[in-house]
Amino acid sequence: MERLLLELHGHRRLRSDDRYHPIVLFHFSLTPESRRMEGLAPRPEDMFWTEARFGRSLAEGAGWSSVSDDDKVKILFHYAQEEIRAARRKLRDVHLFWTPTSAYASGPPVDPKSIEFPNAPAVPVDPEDPQSSSRFRARAGAGH
């Protein structure tokens, strides 16, 4: 499988579900790297929207109450990028929830000023090795 590039094409901030929780739609593309290196634009099937939001327990927790809404949007962008790269596929939504072991539990793990947003560069998404894929192992275990 070919290496992909994850690229941001825009974003739209939606009405917050309350004063602590911004909801943002990010417009991404996952395009084969060779296609982008040729200077070709992403195809419509490469484009997708990802909705990102904070879980209430996280947004109201220590370390988050003093973070501005603009910085929360940057953090949501950073988190959406991380989740899409880890999944190696398009994601329709990502929710940043509080868990005791999360790097986000006590506030932003990265300085929002260090996040390049909205003019973020494309980031590589390495292909998944089919032999290590949980979907492949499940199919193999089922005899397919």
Q: At 134, is the pLDDT very low, low, confident or very high (cuts 50, 70, 90)?
A: low
Q: At 56, is the pLDDT very low, low, confident or very high (cuts 50, 70, 90)?
A: confident
Residue with tokens 């940043």: 96
> Cα 132 to chain center, whole Å?
22
Give the per-residue pLDDT at 86: 93
Residues recorded for the chain: 144
- Say if pTM beats, i.e. exceeds, 0.85: no
Please say if the pLDDT value at position 103 is more than 60: yes
Contacts of residue 63, Cβ cutoff 8 Å, sequence gap at least 6:
106, 107, 108
Kindly report the average pLDDT of the chain as a whole number.
Answer: 85
Give the per-residue pLDDT at 12: 94
Give the per-residue pLDDT at 116: 94
**Cis before 118 (ω within 30):** yes
Nearest to 96 by CA among 22, 28, 26: 22
Tell me: the pLDDT tens digits for 58-82? 766 667 878 888 898 999 999 999 9
Give the per-residue pLDDT at 16: 67
Q: What is the mean pLDDT of residues 120-128?
A: 90
Give the per-residue pLDDT at 99: 73
The residue among 63 and 126 whose pLDDT is bigger is 126
Q: What values do phi and psi take at 138, rounded to 5?
A: -65, -40
Please say if the pLDDT value at position 20 is more than 60: no
Give me the torsion for CA of 21, 22, 25, 26, rounded to 10°: -110
- The share of the chain scoring above pLDDT 70, in percent, equals 81
